[in-house]
Amino acid sequence: MKYTTEFRDRELVEKEARHIHEITHQTWRIMEVCGGQTHALLRYGLMDLLPEKIKLVHGPGCPVCVTPVEVLDSAIDLAENKKAILCSFGDMLKVPGSRGNLFDCRARGGDVRVVYSPLDCLSIAKQNPTREVVFLAVGFETTAPAHALAVLQAETLGIKNFSLLVSHYLVPPALRLILSNPKTQVDGFLAAGHVCTIMGAEEYRPIVDEFHVPIVITGFEPLDLMQGIRMVVEQLESETAKLQNQYTRSVVDSGNLVARQAIEKVFHSIRQSWRGLGEYEGSGLGLRSEYSQYDAWAKFGIRVHQQESTSCLAGDIMMGIKRPQDCSHFGKDCRPDHPMGAPMVSSEGACAAYFKYRVDNQSSSHPEKRV
């Protein structure tokens, strides 16, 4: 398959690995920002091909993982107490809040529905004109355009009983947070290619200049990741810091202008709360005041502040301070069938990746384990 098979070529991946071994002389900590990249690194056994001096740590680029407990609690409250039809993508249903998850809510009688697009909610709203329909709009810059378009389409169609429970996050502020924390000690980043496909490359250049840290925009296939790591190591070993784009088949400097315009029209930057990381000014997106009728937070007057669990190390793991196996609960009382935190739930969570490819499946004969 074009753009897939050629980027899973074993010989090319191993050639990149040999190159990385040849040029690595010092110990470097490199963070892949996106949970999809974390899963690909483990799924294809790429971390085992790297020199011991290359330490990969895993960033906060998993929307399910960074969504705080209070958002889940608010979604459950809407379905149970406000009798709204709560719509969500399937991976959010197992994420624990303080009073269980959305599956538990549905078992108690809450009207929780899985959809494949926020536009599906508009059809549900038209079919149920006497009920409020709320979409749990979680994500980074990648999902924001679709959520914005759902709002614009609802406005065009005159649909009044639809709203978004928005919990959107921005990647560049997260990188600044990580680089400002002396505990993290990240030497270079693999930036998420899909985020940059939407937003472009240029918003990362000020971070490179301010912190003198290499950032390489990288794709998600095995060859993408090995090339991205090699490009970061080349910069580190030569004591340079540049913004580079490995994912040129998808990312251009200006990004997707149509998608960016939709985001800019509907959303504005806000102070956002991240699960395990705290609140940071300008690190999220909220609906502009002219679209407040579609803002579930305002529409239902939601005010929830819930303390995060202190037993889950999600914050330290997403900051690259610790790895999943450093947690005493990992693989024991915290497993995918009984998660204590979102990183063990999400298909992009670092804990779920380590459990799936390092604990649950120790056999290297697994068809997805090796390139």
Tens digits of residue pLDDT in 89-141: 988 888 888 888 999 999 999 999 999 999 999 999 999 999 999 999 999 99
pLDDT-based confidence at 362, cuts 50/70/90? low
Cα angle, residue 168 at apex, residues 162 and 170 outer, rounded to 5°: 155
What is the structure's pLDDT at 289?
96
Stretch 21-35: mean pLDDT: 96
Q: Are 135 and 88 in contact (CB under 8 A)?
A: yes
Residue type, position 279, single letter:
E
State how far the Cα of 8 lies from the Cα of 293, in Å rounded to an integer. Answer: 47
Q: Are 170 and 267 in contact (CB under 8 A)?
A: no
Average pLDDT value over all residues in the chain: 91
pLDDT-based confidence at 265, cuts 50/70/90? very high
State how far the Cα of 57 lies from the Cα of 354, in Å rounded to an integer. Answer: 12
What is the structure's pLDDT at 97?
85
Q: Are 242 and 233 in contact (CB under 8 A)?
A: no
State how far the Cα of 218 lies from the Cα of 196, in Å rounded to an integer. Answer: 9
Tens digits of residue pLDDT in 311-350: 788 888 888 888 898 888 898 888 888 888 778 877 778 8
- 10 Å Cβ neighbour count for 176? 17
What percent of the chain stands above pLDDT 70?
Answer: 94
Cα angle, residue 265 at apex, residues 271 and 171 outer, rounded to 5°: 40
SS3 label, residue 98 = strand
Tens digits of residue pLDDT in 190-200: 999 999 999 99
Cα angle, residue 226 at apex, residues 223 and 227 outer, rounded to 5°: 80
Structure token digits, residue 194? 């899909």
Stretch 148-169: mean pLDDT: 97
State how far the Cα of 187 lies from the Cα of 232, in Å rounded to an integer. Answer: 9
pLDDT at 369 over 70: no
Question: What is the residue-wise DSSP string for 232-244?
Answer: HHHHHHTT---EE
pLDDT at 364 over 50: no
SS3 label, residue 217 = strand
Q: How many CA atoms lie within 13 A of 1 on its CB side?
A: 3
Parallel/antiparallel/unpaired status of strands 278-287 and 162-169: antiparallel
Better-scored residue on pLDDT, 348 or 265: 265
